[in-house]
Amino acid sequence: NNYANITAIGGFVPKGRRTNEDLATICDTSDEWITKRTGIKERRILDEGLATSDMAVEAIINLFDNYNKDLSKVDALIVATSTPDMLMPATANIVCEKLKINNVWAFDLNAACSGFLYALNVASGLIESGRYKNVLVVGADNISAFVDIHDRSTNILFGDGAAAVLLEPNEEFGVMDSLLKSNGEGREFLNIEGGGSLFPASLDTLDKHYIKQDGKIVFKKAVTAMSETCLELLEKNNLKTDDVKWLVPHQANKRIIDAVGNAIKIEDHKTMVNIEEYGNTIAATIPLCMWENVSKFKKGDFILLTAFGAGFSWGASLIKW
């Protein structure tokens, strides 16, 4: 068996901060409301003129700066993003150009907030096939470029960031199993409609270039989908919640994280949370959280990852560290 083992991890968040107090000067909200309802205090915002690929590149550079690994050995690169630099070419191609690597099979994968888990699973399959030995998976989103700064139903939640993992084959440890799911039910409840072939560029569709959502519906679906999938995945692998050393959930809302934790009955101290500082960075939340906490992972730990996002798309992955 060739398991896909995470052997290195890197991350990047922009320096620019947007605090709850900043938002309270722009629209009718308050630090108290946002903190209580979401657990978020501030988000990082990428400078104008930069884009998703710039953050992905920084995360990859951070990875290779901190681990004794060789960028020239990378044979596949997947960028999980729903905020690509442009519709085409893929952001992964632009990342290759900026890193000066070529001959890499590089492509984007869009599964919104579940993008990292989807990409991790695709990359694991490449490793398990025996045909790829060094696969980079990046979760990167410059979602602030699609947030209407005056819309308090979205501006409070989202921030920018990127993180990257390197996968290599290992006989014993790695990405053990995943359950990934999707339906089209979420299309009307969470989307960025404009810029695609349905609503191409036009003066009438400017408003459609912003992210929109029905927060209440997304909230409920997110809790049910993530907790059910986590339990299903554990059962499939003959594990119990108590066997899990760390839960790394998508960081969308602290109340969603708490509700999932309660539903699967995991002890609070096992759940990794960094939403207070970064908000929801879409495909970057899970790898960013892993990057910040990587020193806590010990050999043999079972780590459960779970995500939910636009589509709807959702899932869970189980890693033996």
Which of the residues are catalytic? 113, 250, 280
Q: Report how many residues bind ligand ACO under the rule CB under 6 A.
A: 22
**Max CA separation in the chain (angstroms):** 56
Q: Per the structure block, which two tokens stand in for 301?
A: 């730990």
Is residue 308 part of the contact set for ligand ACO (CB under 6 A)? yes
Q: Which residue is nearest to ligand ACO (CB)?
A: 215
Is residue 153 part of the contact set for ligand ACO (CB under 6 A)? yes
Quick one: 95 or 143, whose CB is closer to ligand ACO? 143
Is residue 216 part of the contact set for ligand ACO (CB under 6 A)? yes
Is residue 33 part of the contact set for ligand ACO (CB under 6 A)? yes
Chosen residue from 107, 219, 297, 321 binding ligand ACO by CB under 6 A: 219
CB of 173 to ligand ACO, least distance (A): 29
Q: Per the structure block, which two tokens stand in for 95?
A: 């990342």
CB of 92 to ligand ACO, least distance (A): 22
Is residue 229 part of the contact set for ligand ACO (CB under 6 A)? no
Quick one: 70 or 185, whose CB is closer to ligand ACO? 185
Chosen residue from 178, 280, 313, 317 binding ligand ACO by CB under 6 A: 280
Is residue 38 part of the contact set for ligand ACO (CB under 6 A)? yes
> For 173-238, what is the HEC assignment?
CEEEEEEEEECCHHHHCEECCCCCCCCCCCHHHHHHHCCEECHHHHHHHHHHHHHHHHHHHHHHCC
Is residue 241 part of the contact set for ligand ACO (CB under 6 A)? no
Paired sense of beta strands 76-80 and 105-109, if any: parallel
CB of 226 to ligand ACO, least distance (A): 8
Answer for the pair 252, 260: CB distance below 8 angstroms, yes or no.
no
Is residue 253 part of the contact set for ligand ACO (CB under 6 A)? yes
What is the distance between the alpha carbons of residues 162 and 149, in angstroms, rounded to a whole number? 21
Answer for the pair 6, 167: CB distance below 8 angstroms, yes or no.
yes
Residues linked to residue 77 through DSSP beta bridges, in sequence order: 106, 136
Residue window 46-85: x/- pattern of binding to ligand ACO, with contact defined by CB under 6 A: ----------------------------------------
Q: Which stretch binds ligand ACO (CB under 6 A): 31-39, 81-89, 194-202, 258-266?
A: 31-39
What is the distance between the alpha carbons of residues 33 and 12, in angstroms, rounded to a whole number? 28
Is residue 152 part of the contact set for ligand ACO (CB under 6 A)? yes
Residue of 140, 144, 112 lying closest to 56 (CA atoms): 140
Chosen residue from 115, 139, 309, 315 binding ligand ACO by CB under 6 A: 309
What is the distance between the alpha carbons of residues 96 and 268, in angstroms, rounded to a whole number? 40
Paired sense of beta strands 313-320 and 174-182, if any: antiparallel
